[in-house]
Structure 1
Amino acid sequence: MDQDTGQLYGVVMITIVGGSILAAIWRAGVFGPRAFEAAPKRRGALGLFDPFVAVAVLLVGMAAVGSFVGQPPPEDQMTPRRMFITMVATQAGALPAIVYILIRAGMVVEGGLLGFGFDPRRFGAAVRYALLGTVTAIPLTMAVSAIVMFVMQQLGLDAPQIAHEALRKMTEEGWGPTRWGLIISAVVLAPIVEETIFRGMWQTALLQSKVVLTPWAAIGITSVIFTLTHVQIANLNALPALFTLSLGLGYVYERSGSLLAPMLLHAIFNGLQIIIALNLPQTPAAS
């Protein structure tokens, strides 16, 4: 069996097995149209303008931080250390937006920040749904990634195995402060920042402003926005997988009623991607 035939066989098997599992779960009502009937409801008065205000504050914060650290260089000139500085600067620049989101949610969401998704009483549900996402959304995301990569390779398009810029820089750096900093940024800071902005603000605002009437619609629109924000740092072949992952992140937020659930799932996914990237054949040996 040649390599192309083996890849095709793998993609077909992933599609059949993954599709069958997903169909069974859907029929069981876990992911179907009625999946959110018994889920906690986030009532409140977040408006559609709130995410745009948060984005404006985010851009101002990032511009302010960028004025101190400078603009990031092109990817071919980006060193691992510079990537770490860029990631931390981006997350630091997001802090004013996070503060705005928390203040605004505390004011207009029923139950304040507890109702927004920071209720410690939902910790158990958050962990359960994060684990559910780990065994469903993450394999599905990886299946989508494998299928897209195979199709792009057959079309002669560039589809690198490591499709995220930060992951590529991690593989160029030996074990030391820079690599550990990149890992902590990706596994701890990024999930907190991104889930607060996308699931917490965008998804909640879409529902509470009545722009959409169903959780799945809010999850879908939020996932499109989430995917588009990664265009500059991820290769084309990674975008469908990121969209798929985002659907899972939105789902566990709605089902659990806790922002901790998508944060945990996001952290697990990023951690797995790092483990895979650092163990690919082209990864430099650890020093």
Structure 2
Amino acid sequence: MSETVRSGAEDPVDDSLVPSLGVVPASVALAAAFVPIRGGVDDPFVWLAAAFTVVTVVAFLARRHGALEPELGGLAAAGSSLLVVLCAGYALNQGISGPVTVPGLEWTVSMLFLAFVAAGGSIGIAAADYAGVSPRGLIRRVLRFSTMMGLGFAGLLSMAFVSIFLFTLVTTFSGGVSELDGQLVQYASTAIGLGSIAAVYLLWRGHDLSYLDLERPSVRSILWTVGGLVMIFGALVAISLLMTAVGVDTAEHGTAQQAEQNPELLVVIIPAMILIVGPFEELLYRNVIQKSLYDTFSRYGAVVVTSVIFAAVHVAAYATAGAGEVLASLMVLFGLSLVLGFVYERTDNLVVPAVVHGCFNAAQMAMIYLA
């Protein structure tokens, strides 16, 4: 086997190892996609997903045996895997899951969701192959991604524990909690929960307050803030129009549902979006997670990986809807997170994405009141 050093590789690598690893999730996606077809599902998007899994496996095998160059093979595998994700995601949104019951456990597993997840893994490995990342470098990236995913969910759990504690405290001393009190507790939990996890991680890594990218407003930061708002609203409109055109349904955020049922809560929700949700979510997900990923991924790669984490931790916020609608909402959130990550990457100033995020959320809540 030939050993090469390609652009982006950390050390000499066996050119076939990374694509060999890619064959594994690609084969899982292929097997999972064909299960519903064998079960009689004739939806064209399921068939397309299955066809693209075949292309992915062939692309990885061709790379494995040197029949394709890294750039072409990696691009082909990543592109076909992305199409699997889109086709499987669309089929899931339309209510097709390809369920299979695990013998002896009585668990039902969606084969299309398995194909969706496995194809997502194939995209990452294909991108690594395209960039010339070594197997050792790929392992480092997987470990760092897993650590940052854990950190993101730690923030979610921290918020939950703080919320339980505060609710118990308020109930004990006041005898009950109104909906308005509940919102105040929720946002206090957001600030304390996310802020504490960010602080613990920074202390563990030996960082001081200088690690926080807080800068005074400048003409450049103001322009990027305005531009970020234009981009994020533009992205929302474009994604919404596309999903409407193809008939994809999304789930509604739990906070939006509460605001629709009780508009008086917007008195707390709107300012909290600007003063708490935007700043503290961006503190953890951009200034801590995305910035930490710069050491292992390219800066734009870190933006994408952070957006995957950001979308994943918001599953619970949309959990009142079906799996397909939740998945569609998370894909929308992923797209919007790319904008926030890009703005932070361009400015290295936490204030900019925090303001963009907070104002964007507040504007969406205000639209509920005006509707």
Report TM bin, short chain. Answer: 0.5 to 0.7
Aligned residue in 1 for 2:224: 129
Aligned residue in 2 for 1:268: 359
The verdict on how the C-alpha distance between 1:196 and 1:137 changes in structure 2, with shifts beyond 3 A counting, is same
TM-score (structure 1 length as normaliser)? 0.63
Kept after mapping to 2: 8 A contact 1:113/1:119: no
Determine whether 1:229 maps to 2:324. no
Kept after mapping to 1: 8 A contact 2:162/2:192: no
Superposition deviation, residue 64 in structure 1? 4.2
Give distance in 1, aligned partners of 2:229 and 2:162: 36
The higher relative CO (CA closer than 8 Å, separation ≥ 6) is in 1
Superposition deviation, residue 217 in structure 1? 0.7
Determine whether 1:100 maps to 2:192. no
Superposition deviation, residue 221 in structure 1? 0.6
Kept after mapping to 2: 8 A contact 1:61/1:96: no
Give distance in 1, aligned partners of 2:155 and 2:281: 14
Superposition deviation, residue 250 in structure 1? 0.6
Aligned positions of 1:46-57 closer than 5 A: 48=144, 49=147, 52=150, 56=154
Superposition deviation, residue 150 in structure 1? 4.2
Aligned to 1:94, the other structure's residue is in SS state helix
The verdict on how the C-alpha distance between 1:57 and 1:88 changes in structure 2, with shifts beyond 3 A counting, is closer
The verdict on how the C-alpha distance between 1:89 and 1:126 changes in structure 2, with shifts beyond 3 A counting, is same
Aligned to 1:99, the other structure's residue is in SS state helix
Superposition deviation, residue 113 in structure 1? 3.8
Aligned residue in 1 for 2:237: 142
Deviations 1:222-269 (A, max 9, x none): 001101111221352432221111111111111111011100110121
Aligned residue in 2 for 1:198: 285
Aligned residue in 2 for 1:69: 167
Superposition deviation, residue 95 in structure 1? 3.0
Superposition deviation, residue 131 in structure 1? 1.0
Aligned residue in 2 for 1:81: 180
Gap regions ≥5 residues in structure 2? 1-142, 169-177, 319-324
Give distance in 2, aligned partners of 1:64 and 1:83: 13
The verdict on how the C-alpha distance between 1:69 and 1:103 changes in structure 2, with shifts beyond 3 A counting, is same
The verdict on how the C-alpha distance between 1:140 and 1:56 changes in structure 2, with shifts beyond 3 A counting, is closer
Kept after mapping to 2: 8 A contact 1:51/1:201: no
Would you say how many aligned residue pairs link Structure 1 and Structure 2?
211
- Report the RMSD for the aligned CA atoms in angstroms: 3.1
TM-score (structure 2 length as normaliser)? 0.50
Deviations 1:86-109 (A, max 9, x none): 34334333331133255467x44x
Counterpart residue identity of residue 92, structure 1: I
Larger Rg: 1 or 2? 2
Kept after mapping to 2: 8 A contact 1:83/1:166: no
Deviations 1:16-59 (A, max 9, x none): xxxxxxxxxxxxxxxxxxxxxxxxxxxxxxx9457745754763
Aligned residue in 2 for 1:244: 335
Give distance in 2, aligned partners of 1:227 and 1:171: 23
Which of 261, 277, 297 lines up with 1:172 in the alignment? 261
Aligned residue in 2 for 1:117: 213
Give distance in 1, aligned partners of 2:338 and 2:151: 24
Superposition deviation, residue 65 in structure 1? 3.7
Give distance in 2, aligned partners of 1:83 and 1:138: 29
Give distance in 1, aligned partners of 2:262 and 2:180: 9
The verdict on how the C-alpha distance between 1:239 and 1:145 changes in structure 2, with shifts beyond 3 A counting, is farther
Superposition deviation, residue 126 in structure 1? 2.5
Kept after mapping to 2: 8 A contact 1:191/1:263: yes
Give distance in 1, aligned partners of 2:266 and 2:289: 31
Q: Which moved more, 1:251-260 or 1:183-192?
A: 183-192
Aligned residue in 2 for 1:254: 345
Aligned to 1:250, the other structure's residue is in SS state helix
Aligned residue in 1 for 2:5: none
Aligned to 1:117, the other structure's residue is in SS state coil
Counterpart residue identity of residue 69, structure 1: F
Kept after mapping to 2: 8 A contact 1:129/1:261: yes
